[in-house]
Structure 1
Amino acid sequence: MVGLMQSRYVSAIAASNDDLKSAQRLRFLAFHGREGVDADPFDDLCTHILVKERRSGQLVCCFRFLPLQSGSDIAKSYSAQFYELSALKDFPGSMVEMGRFCIHPEHQDPDILRVAWAAMTAYVDDNNVEMLFGCSSFKGTDAQEYFDCFAMLRDRHIAPRRWLPRVKALNVFQFAARLRRKPDLKQAQLRMPPLLRTYLMMGGWVSDHAVVDTHMNTLHVFTGLEISAIPPARKRLLRAMSA
């Protein structure tokens, strides 16, 4: 198990079918706002991470990892269904796709995200991962609600040209090309999903467009984080949390 020693929360790898079912139920609640089970074929290929309240054992956060040996395997990823990722085929190092990240809607303690990042860090270090990537989601499918976020992403965080994902999905919002407004940075930070905000603080980058995913009721951007680009001070903090 991994976690902040003084935290109310602790993380662990799902070890049973019951663990997976609990994660699938939390995912459905977080993404759809009601009871149900969110499952897909990628679940059987992934390692699932659970974050629970230490005393009660209640599941408050979950996500999954899909390991890839290098960019040559990028077409096997969940993200490749939505983004044209041929530019990443040349990435030489090991990669991990993080997906289905969600936090229980009734549990918004910032420590939950810290423990989740500690678990991510331990996994990255233990498996010599060189890039972490995935789809970072905004709740709902109305892009106008997030114009300040998208304008900030356009100005500061678009992927390097050598890795830039291209459009593949039929329903997308091409914010880098279409938005002309100057972002309100305060509003952008307030509306930015916490996971994506943390990716960006670590040196992450995003696609130049968002996919409108009506099935999951989200807008999402492809997000990449090259581990070598994480500032040393932040690496030390993350590793201290995962110790």
Structure 2
Amino acid sequence: MAKGMTRRMDVTVGRLRARLVGVAEAGTGFALRARTFRGGATDLDGHDRDAQHLLVEDGGVTCGYARIALQRDGTAADGYAGGRYDLATFARVFPRAVEVGRICLAPERDDPQVLRLMLAMLARLVGAERAQVLHGCASLSMGGCGSLALTDRIAPEAWRPRPRAAETAPLTALSGPMPPLLRMWLALGASVSDHAVFDRDLGTLHVHTALPVAAIPRNRAQRLAGLLSDA
């Protein structure tokens, strides 16, 4: 599959429809993303054109979005996260990766099924791609999150991201509540970088978060697969 081409996926589960589309069809997802990350102002960058875009819709209304980059042949170091962390070693260890970013849910929708469907679609995509890892930048408030919850989840030395950004903070400097999305990734077996990066553009901190496919508990993987088994 050439760069920029979309791996098409379209699944309906109950009231919800999940689609993996190209940039030309992702307008409603970009609108939700703009509302979530920039208070309604446009949120587009150079990584969007060649990305895949995951939309979850209820009655045609987009209630979940994520940007997906399919990284083959060790290209993880060239993606969005690779511009903020040195992922050269990571990319060699995981030559087939799926980078996930800009995950957002419509705040007026309090339906855990939306996030579960997004995870199930990611699981299907990982299988189709024969990917070895899911990864991306997990956003935190500027207050960070509890350091003790992260310092025991630092990635192994063999593939740990190295510093690249000019403005970083050690995990021990972070405090505050754990964001729900990061908690979810950690529950699935993810590891994090040993430092956080300041993102002044979005007004957040983030940590590189990586979930090797082999680390996902078997029972969780089976439940995710089961969600799409009859779709």
Mapped partners of 1:92, 1:15: distance in 2 = 25
For the structure 1 residues 16 and 100, does the alpha-carbon distance in structure 2 shift closer, same or farther, using more than 3 Å as the test?
A: closer
Alignment CA distance shift 1:35-1:234 (3 Å): same
Tell me the distance in 2 between the aligned counterparts of 1:92 and 1:58: 36
Q: 5 Å matches for 1:137-216?
A: 137-138=139-140, 140-143=141-144, 146=145, 148=146, 150-155=147-152, 157-176=153-172, 178=173, 191-216=177-202
Cα pair 1:158 1:205 within 8 Å, conserved = yes
Aligned equivalent of 1:221: 207
- Which residue does the alignment assign to 2:26? 20
SS at match of 1:132: strand
Q: 1:46 to 1:15 in 2, by over 3 A?
A: closer
Whether contact under 8 Å (1:51, 1:61) holds in the other structure is yes
Aligned length: 220
The CA distance in 2 between the partners of 1:107 and 1:217, in whole Å, is 24
- What does the per-residue CA deviation read over 1:71-111, in whole Å, with 9 as the maximum and x for residues that have no partner? x3222111011111122132154111111111122223211
For 2:4, the equivalent position in structure 1 comes to none
Structure 1, unmatched stretches of 5+, are none
Structure whose residues are more often strand by fraction: 2
* Residue of structure 1 equivalent to 2:36: 30
Q: Tell me how far apart the structure 2 counterparts of residues 242 and 97 of structure 1 sit (CA, whole Å).
A: 21
CA distance in 2, matches of 1:46, 1:78: 11
Q: Is the 8 A contact 1:11 1:116 kept in 2?
A: yes
- How far off its partner does 1:224 sit? 0.6
Shift of residue 16, structure 1, vs aligned partner? 6.5
Letter in 2 for 1:118: A
Query: Percent identity at matched positions?
Result: 32
Of residues 123, 126, 140, the one that matches 1:124 is 126
1:225 match: secondary structure: strand
**Counterpart Cα distance in 1 of 2:187 and 2:89:** 24
Q: Report SS of the residue matched to 1:49.
A: strand
Per the alignment, in what secondary structure is the counterpart of residue 41 of structure 1? coil
Q: Gaps spanning 5+ residues in structure 2: where? A: 1-9
Q: What is the identity, as a one-letter code, of the residue corresponding to 2:11?
A: V
Are residues 201 and 27 of structure 1, via their aligned partners in 2, closer, same or farther at CA, if it must alter by over 3 Å?
Answer: same
Q: Secondary structure at the match of 1:99?
A: strand
- What TM-score do the two structures reach when normalised by structure 2? 0.87
Does residue 84 of the first structure (1) align with residue 75 of the second (2)?
A: no
Q: Which residue of 2 aligns with 1:62?
A: 65
Q: Which secondary structure does the structure 2 equivalent of 1:43 belong to?
A: coil
So what's the TM-score if we normalise by structure 1? 0.83
Choose between structure 1 and 2 for higher RCO, CA contacts under 8 A separated by at least 6 residues.
1
